[in-house]
Structures are given as C-alpha cells and as structure tokens.
A and B are shown apart, each in its own frame.
Chain A
Amino acid sequence: MVTDARSVRSGGVAQAVPLRRRSPRLRAAFPYLLLTPAMLYLLAITLYPGLFAIYQSLFVVRFTSWEWVGLDNYAKLMGDREFWAALGNTAIIGSISLFVQTVIAMTLAYFAYRDPFVKGWRIVFLMPMLFMPSAVAFIWKLAFNDGRVISDLLMTLGVVDRNVDWLASIPLARLTLIVADVWQWTPFLFIIFVAALQSLDQEIEEAARLDGASWPAIFWNISLPMIWPIVVVAITLRGIDITTMFTNVYIMTQGSPGGATETMSYFIYRQGFRMFNFGYASAASVLMLVITVVIAQTVVKRAFRSGKA
C-alpha cells in the first residue's frame, strides 16, 4: 500500500530509494555519522601519536625535563651509523625473507591447489602461523642457539664439522631471523595463493591441457598472470608486516652481533625504552612514518585498486 501511494506521488514511477520523513541534510550526513566513531578512534591512535612524535622529536627528553633542541635530533640521526644500519638491516633481512617465502609459498601452492588433499595440506602448512610470534622466536632461539639442534643436525649431515655459533657472524645471525620469519609466515602467502588459484576457471586450464601444454607452462603463462593482482596484494601486505619486524629480534638476537640484526622497530624501541632517549626515538619514528606514508600512498594504494573487483 505504501508503495502505491509513493508511486502516485512521484508521478507513477516507483522510487528505488524513497525518502522517509527525514531532512535531506540528515540523509546526506548519514554515512559520515556512521563513520564518525571509527574515524575518531583511528585518528586518536594515528594522528595524535603522529603529532606527538613530531613535537617530541624537537626535544631532548630526560625523564620529566624536556629541553628544546629544534631539529638537532634529526641532524644527529642523519649522522648516526646505527640508524642507517637499522634501515639497511630491515631492508636486507626483509627483502630476502619476503623473496624466499614468496617462492616457497608459490611452489607449494602450484603443487597443492590441484591436489585432492588440498584441505589437509592447508591445515598442516598453516600451523606455524598459529603460534604466537613470541613462541616461534623461542622455538628458533632454542633450535639455533641454546639447544644446538640445528648445528647437531648439520653435523650429522656432514655440512659442518663443529658447533656453529649463529650469533657470532653477521650473515648467520641474519639467517636465523630469516628462517624464523619464513617458517612462520610462508603459510600467509600460501593460503592466499591457493585460494586465488582455486578461484580460477578450471576450463581454461583444461583447454590448454588438451592442447598439449604442460602444467608448468600452463601455470606460468595462464594461471599466474591471472592471479597476479592478488599476488601483489598478498606480497604487499606481507612486505609491510616484515618492515615492522620486532619480536624475533627482541627474543632471538637483541640486534647482535654488533647491531647487524637491529631492525628499525628495534632501533626505536632501544633508543626509547632502553636508553630513554625519547626525543631521539620520536625523531626516528617520524622518519619511519614518512617512509610508511610514501609506501602506503604509492605501492599499497595501487595494489589494492588493481586487486579489488
């Protein structure tokens, strides 16, 4: 009945979205009202800390006394070898780790997605990801350093002839962090790659198959290009997470040897909460924030646009 009355009023054409007794202004404001609580919350945890960090970065903070130093903290950072090392370490450890886990995850996905037991494989491969990251860090700390299990296995295999001190060499210490990260997070990429491959139209692959193409060729030339946008989204998300690496460093290496495994996150943590150079830590945070915003505005925005329907 209501519809009848409306359609008469609007000249016989039923309105798709009839207005209720509500002012047009409220209607226009409605989506913004729905967004307000979430936006306020997010602004409180991003904008406020951002501004606070910028402000604090202009001071030397010693417990309760704040001494204005202008841009000195930034000037000091630019000449701080440890800061650049942390930036470089994050890039090196992060990119190697990301590359290795992408290759492993893609290989596994290639073999698993046509397998009748794909559900079983998924659960098994997923398990490392479901451990708390701190627990995973302890697993590998014990396996590499404290428990000497890896050394023992390598000795049994004849790869090395005596116990390896993983924290004594820069590449080896980095390797332990990479192994822990790859072990825990390859599943993240694997799960996404498999889902993407499974969502593909099987008929295209079957048709190519009947034409005599081999599976690797089909995968490389047909399937992979088709899921590429999703691959980019997944790698981007993982890449962002890797740049924030902290837990493994904190538990496994504490940055040793000689700061070679200190990541940006650990650098900020150490400056702020170990050495209580809060102003200095804030300056580093601001620089890291700038890098993040640039990456978010370019890489991530593009990845999500193309990845989304």
Chain B
Amino acid sequence: MARTRKTRGESLILRYLVLGSWALVCGLPILWFLTIGFRPRTEIITPQPIYWPTFSLDAWHLLVSDWPIARYLRNSLVAVAGSVVIDLVLAIPAAFALSRYEFKGRENIGFYILSTRMMAPAIVAVPIFFLFKTMGLLDSVWALMLIYAAINLSLVTWIIRSYMMDIPKELEDAARTDGASDLRILWEIIIPACLPGIITAAVIAAIFAINEFLFTLLIASTSRAYTMSVALANFTGGSDGVIYNAIALVSFIAFVPILILVILIQKHLSRGLTMGAVKG
C-alpha cells in the first residue's frame, strides 16, 4: 500500500509539471501577442525586445480609420456562412444515402468523397485559378464561398454520415411501416436525431473555411474580396513593413468567436476532427 501511495504522489508532481509547462507554452505566446496588439509600433521591432510596453490603441485606430476592416469581416462572414450552407445542403442527402442504404459502390463512393479531402490545395490551385478567371469570378466573395464549400464538403459528409449511422434502424422502420416516405424520414427523424453531428460538422467546416489561406490569396487579389485571413497577410504594408500590432488585433478579433464556437461543441470535437472515426 505504501508503495502505491508513493508512486501516486510522484506521478502527480510529474503530471502537473508536464501539463503546466505545456499550458505555458500554449498560453505565453498568445498573451505576448495580445500585448503586441496594444503597443505602439515603435515598441515592436526593436534591437532589444520590450516586455513591458506602453499601452496604446494605435493599432485599433489604424484598423478603424485606414483599413476597411468591417468589409473584410463581412467578406469572411458571407463566404464562410454561405459555404457552410452549401455544404449542409449537399452533404446531408449524401450522408443519408451512405449511412442508411445498401447499394452497389457504396464503399468506393464514400472513400472517393473522403479522399478529396487529401488533395493539397496547391495541386488544384492553378486549374481553379484558370477556371474562375474564365468564369469572371476572380476577386469575388462568391468564388471564395464555392471554394470553401468544396474544401469542406468531404469532411461535412463524413461527420454527418458517422452520426447518422448511430441512429437505430428501428426508429426508421417504425416510421416506414406508418407509411412515411424516405425524404420525410430524413427530414422528420434522421435530421433531428443527428443534429449534434450536423452542428459539429458546420462548426468545423466554418473554422477550416476561416483558416483557408492559399485559395483566398489567389482568388482575392484586391481588397474587394479580402477576408480576415488574407487581409492579415496584406498588412505587410509594403514600405511600412509588417504592421504587427494590427495583425495581432485582427487575429484576436477572429479568435474569440472561434473559441466560443469550439467550446459549444467541445464534446463532439474529437469525433468531428477525425471525420467520425473516434466516438469520444
């Protein structure tokens, strides 16, 4: 018994040492970056780093007056929300078919959908660029919406599919014997029953869409279609150098809503991130 207690005590110290250190590794850079957002530009790039800067709202004034930050935010919102809606409209029927029906080629179709997620954005970047150029869609929020939807469609389908597979067959059969059509079963039984999965899929798709960088960079070539992510990269401001305090502020403006969304779906996060492979 004494030995058991001893090993327990040791492992507790080690445990909190390890977990605590990584918490610092995660937290300190974030806190430090937050202070960057509220310091004057003269105190950012210095020969000697300044750890206790003067408080300043320079970056905030710069964002509000010099940059159409509201437009970037709106572009992000429209493109991301629109893409999630497209994804759900396409993915829910597809997931329904993949999870509730037996048919030839089911596994191969499912895997094809999954494999589109593995394609590097760079592989399709040149063709997509030409496609949108011919369609006159360059520099538009609509193009971004279509691209984000495409990137996340496989993920959304697989997450929803995984949740639909958990719904007991009996529920469906009972409705069927009552004469309900397949589409009514989808609408009235399956969708309500897997709503947590649908919400999880939507949140994760939204995060990946907000994060998307390469396509946004290529498609949004003028500030008309800049999203938050690319606007950041363009705060490198030419002769002004990188305007870090503005970048830091914008990062936190985007960070807060994402954090809230993720806390809301926390329980489902691991399942969503593995496209349903982990039922945590």
Interface residues of A in 274-309 (CB under 8 A from B): 278, 281-282, 285, 288-289, 292-293, 295-297, 300-301, 304, 307-309
A48 to B266, CA, bound (A): 37
Are A265's CB and B126's CB within 8 A?
A: no
**Complex contact A292–B118 (CB within 8 A):** yes
Q: Does B72 contact A (CB under 8 A)?
A: no
Given contacts A2-B177, A125-B26, A132-B232, whether A138 and B126 have CB atoms under 8 Å apart is: no
In the complex, whether B159 has a CB less than 8 A from a CB of chain A is: no
Q: Which residue on B lies nearest to A163, using beta carbons?
A: B47
B246-263 with Cβ < 8 A to chain A: 247-248, 250-251, 254-255, 258-259, 262-263
Residue of A nearest to B154 (CB): A42
Residues of A contacting B127 in the complex (Cβ-Cβ under 8 angstroms)? 48-50, 52-53, 56, 282, 285
A132-B280 contact given A292-B120, A296-B118, CB 8 Å threshold = no
Question: Which of B101, B129, B177, B251 is within 8 Å of A131, CB to CB?
Answer: B251
Q: Is B189 an interface residue (CB 8 A)?
A: no
Contact with B along A180-208 (1 / 0, CB 8 A): 00010001100110111011000000000
Given contacts A30-B101, A282-B126, contact A125 B229 (CB under 8 A): no
**In the complex, which residues of chain B have a beta carbon less than 8 angstroms from the beta carbon of A52?**
127, 130-131
Q: Is the CB of A246 within 8 A of B213?
A: yes
Does the CB pair A295–B19 fall under 8 Å?
Answer: no
Say yes or no: is B157 at the interface (Cβ < 8 Å to chain A): yes
Are A125's CB and B94's CB within 8 A?
Answer: no
* B interface, size bucket: 35 or more
In the complex the two chains form, what is the Cα distance from A148 to B44 in whole Å?
A: 10
Q: How far is the CA of A104 from the CA of B19 in the complex (A)?
A: 10
Are A35 and B93 in touch, CB under 8 angstroms? yes
- The 8 A CB mask of A34-68 against B (1 = contact, 0 = none) is 11011101101110111011001000000000000
- The answer, among A194, A243, A307, for a CB contact under 8 Å with B270, is A194
What residues of B have a CB within 8 angstroms of the CB of A165 in the complex? none
Does the CB pair A195–B247 fall under 8 Å?
Answer: no
List B residues 81-127 near A (Cβ within 8 Å). Answer: 89-91, 93-94, 96-98, 101, 103, 106, 109, 111-127
Q: Which of B29, B113, B120 contacts A244 (CB 8 A)?
A: B120
Residue B167 lies at the interface, judged by CB distance under 8 Å to chain A: no
A53 to B126, CA, bound (A): 8
Which has the most chain B C-beta neighbours within 10 Å: A41, A48, A198, A264? A41
Q: Does B141 contact A (CB under 8 A)?
A: no
CB neighbours of A266 from chain B (8 A): 122
Q: Mark B166-185, 1 if CB is under 8 A from A, else 0.
A: 00000001001111011000
Check: A220 CB closer than 8 A to any chain B CB.
no
- Determine if B45 and A146 form an interchain contact, defined as CB atoms under 8 angstroms apart: yes
Q: Which residue of B lies closest to A57 (CB)?
A: B126
Question: Which of B36, B45, B118 contacts A240, CB < 8 Å?
Answer: B118
Q: How many A residues, CB 8 Å from partner? A: 107
Contact A142 B44 (CB under 8 A): yes
- For A142, give its contact among B103, B181, B244 (CB under 8 Å): B244
Q: Give the secondary structure class of A's interface.
A: helix
* B27, B120, B126, B131, most chain A CB atoms within 10 A: B126
CB of A46 within 8 A of CB of B118, answer no
B177 touches A14 (CB 8 A): yes
What is the CB-to-nearest-CB distance from B80 to chain A, in angstroms, rounded to a whole number?
A: 12
Choice from B32, B101, B118, B258 contacting A295 with Cβ under 8 Å: B118
Residue numbers in A under 8 Å from B32 (CB-CB)? 143, 149
What are the residues of chain B within 8 A of A16 when measuring CB–CB? 173, 176
A45 to B30, CA, bound (A): 36
B273 and A192 contact, CB distance less than 8 A: yes
The answer, yes or no, to whether B49 is at the interface (CB within 8 Å) is: yes
- CA A301 – CA B112 in complex, angstroms? 10
Q: List 8 A-B contacts (CB under 8 A).
A: A41-B90, A53-B126, A135-B254, A142-B44, A148-B48, A199-B278, A230-B278, A295-B118
Report, nearest first, the 10 A-B pairs whose CB atoms are least far apart.
A195-B280, A195-B270, A135-B251, A49-B127, A265-B122, A34-B97, A244-B120, A38-B94, A31-B97, A52-B127
The residues of A with any CB-CB pair to B shorter than 8 Å are 2-3, 6, 14, 16-18, 20, 28, 30-32, 34-35, 37-39, 41-42, 44-46, 48-50, 52-53, 56, 104, 107-108, 111-112, 115, 119, 121-128, 130-135, 138-143, 146-149, 152, 183, 187-188, 191-192, 194-196, 198-199, 214-215, 230, 233-234, 237, 240, 243-244, 246-247, 250-251, 264-266, 268-269, 272-273, 278, 281-282, 285, 288-289, 292-293, 295-297, 300-301, 304, 307-309
Name 17 extra pairs, CB < 8 A, besides A195-B270, A196-B270.
A18-B179, A34-B94, A35-B98, A38-B91, A44-B150, A45-B128, A46-B119, A126-B262, A127-B27, A132-B232, A139-B29, A233-B278, A246-B214, A247-B213, A268-B125, A281-B126, A285-B123
